[in-house]
Structure 1
Amino acid sequence: MPKGFWFLWTGILVNQLGSFVILFLAVYLTQVRGFSASAAGIVVSLAYGGGGLVGTFAGGVLADLLGRRVTILVAHLCTAAATLAMGFVAHPAVLVGCALVAGTASNAARPAASAMIVDLTEGAQRERAFALQFWAVNAGFACAAVVGGLLVDTDYRALFVIDAATTVVTAAVVFTKVRETHPATARTTGAETRAGFARIRRDGPFLALVGLTVLFGVVFMQHISTLPLALREDGFGSSVYGRLIALNAGLIIALQLWVPKAVAGRDPARVLALAAAFMGGGFALLALAHDLRGYVLSTVVWTAGEMLQASLVPSLVAALSPPAARGRYQGLFAQAFPVAALVGPALGGVVLQHLGAGAVWTGCLVLGLLCALGHLAAGPARRHRLADSPTAATATR
């Protein structure tokens, strides 16, 4: 791998090591600030859903217009400032505003980093790069979940301080060690940017992949919203939630780098359909069990779905993206999970409060199965589109 990739990867890992706030924001809002379950879900949705929509769109455009490096730097510094402020403000409106800024800025860095990885790698090297990126994200989350689960019961403010500090360290690594990968001569003009988005609107297979990823993400987002609240209803503390998230990340750390080999040569549509079924079915298991063993089994099953999804989708997006529009394609695809974060936590919180946890988990099963059927239906058109792509080989093996 190029040195630039490894420094970027190091920055991603450091940033994720301190990613406490996104994991425990719903608990912080309900336990410390007095928000209801539905109100906390709406705030999480606004921060990482609404803010993510704006951030990923802006980040993708700026990555092509101004460059990947400057976009990452500005995004991380703004994220650090807003995250730190969240731990010290008490007024609900100001707190929500800080959360929205933090969600917008943190998501703006994602398409720029993904476009930089595509710039730095090619072929099978690119698949490994995205697998390593996913590994770093989850290795960081594993540590963040365990440490955050302990801090949340002693000092909530430390969550925000450490999260902001690691974000600043990431910006410093990028500033000192990572060069710009998108030369000024290749950057787009405003007219070219508009033309690029017009092309995306006509790219049916790509848009279908984005839409199905949103549906998948609505189910997945329950792990940061309704899952910790349901655990508390069943008498478990925040440390148990932290251990479940650590289990999720630990499974990914141990197994994710092997998954691409396991699915090599298989139909991506079928693999992604299986991923969606595992994601929905994993959460549906919680409708049948309320003890710790049930939560552990659920986590193992939906983590399997997450790993299968992550093993294919990044390389599919890279193969579908024209070289001159990588930032915009990455930016639009990166909006899938913010849309899911906008819908998922709010929907889950309302259903949990008014219909109970059983209705949440049954709904997860229905959405997971719908997503699976969607991937099977979209498979032929996506294969035809990839057959015309010069980078299709790495995405369809």
Structure 2
Amino acid sequence: MKKIILKNKLVYIFFFYIIFSYFISNNVNLSPETKILNSINWIVSFLFFTSFIFYCIKNNKNPIEFLVYSFVFILFLNLILFSLNVSRSELSLVLGDAILLKNIFAISINRVSFFFGPESPNHMAIFIAMYSPLVFVLKNKSLRYFVLIGILLSLLLIDSRMSIVALFFSILLYFPFKKLKLNFVTKVVIVLTPLFVAILLGVLPLIQSMTSFDLISRDSEDITTANSRTLIWTSVIDNIATLNFNTIFGAGEYGNLTYSSSADYLYLFDNYANAVKSVHNTYLQMILDKGYVFLILFYALLLSLANTLIKNKDDVNIQIYTVTIIVFLISGTTEVIIGSYYFTIIFTILMLHMYINAKYNNLVIQNENKNTRNKL
């Protein structure tokens, strides 16, 4: 257990900084009670997940397999409930048409917000997209294909375009893994992912006038869909351009609300019952909520994980885990998925990090010791 903790010290630093950030926060939108409750949520969740990891490693079990079975249960439970007309129907009415089903299959239906899972359909879609590659951890091939059909149907019903794009792009990267060096692919993803925001700033406002995007464009692509993100990001970038206490250490969750400029875009979401208050970008929200210190810590954690992936690049499971991590990184460019916004997503990544470090670093050490003995 001590060795596992030492090998995953960055995960523990990452976790303690999150708790620390609540108590240094000067965000007037967070009451003392909210800070305490969020801290307790993090502590309880972290203790549960780490205990589960320790148990699985001690008993030579794969915790990811347990997570996938839980995911499969929730996935099909939601689909069954949807078939019985049980979902968050009041939210679906606000979300509008599922454009992919409408434009590809001529099926007119409102976007679905499943009964079990996060209130945000986009977070649910990211959750499903992230777990899609992990389905291949399952040993039963028939079950895999059955689950993949359920995943495809769910993503079409939720109609979150970025999650589908992220999953598609990540699967395309899976095949070069066998020919290209994983360290090259990983470094490219790590460097280019944050720059993806800059590309989106230029591309999203053009969707309305680009006929080639008609298939995935919502009716008129109005301001409350893609274009709103560009408005938010432009406002936020001005806020984080200056170094001060808030930008270095963060202003607490929904840190963007501490800036008066948030009034420039919050009015757009009145129809969403004030459910949308984040900046729709994980990397920008990390700076606003936890500061540049946290962003640097996140990248240190990411590079540590990438180093372990590189050392074990020929392992099939490592390739599967890498696709999931890439889905996470790409999805973070248009949604906030680190913090208390949706625990399951970030804890999946932390569990992957801890399990991969604990298992595969041991394998590397064992192989090095074996090679040393052979030489002697």
TM-score range for the pair, normalised by the shorter chain length? 0.3 to 0.5
Normalised to the residue count of structure 2, the TM-score between the two structures is 0.36
> Rg: which structure is higher?
2
Higher relative contact order (CA 8 A, sep 6+): 1
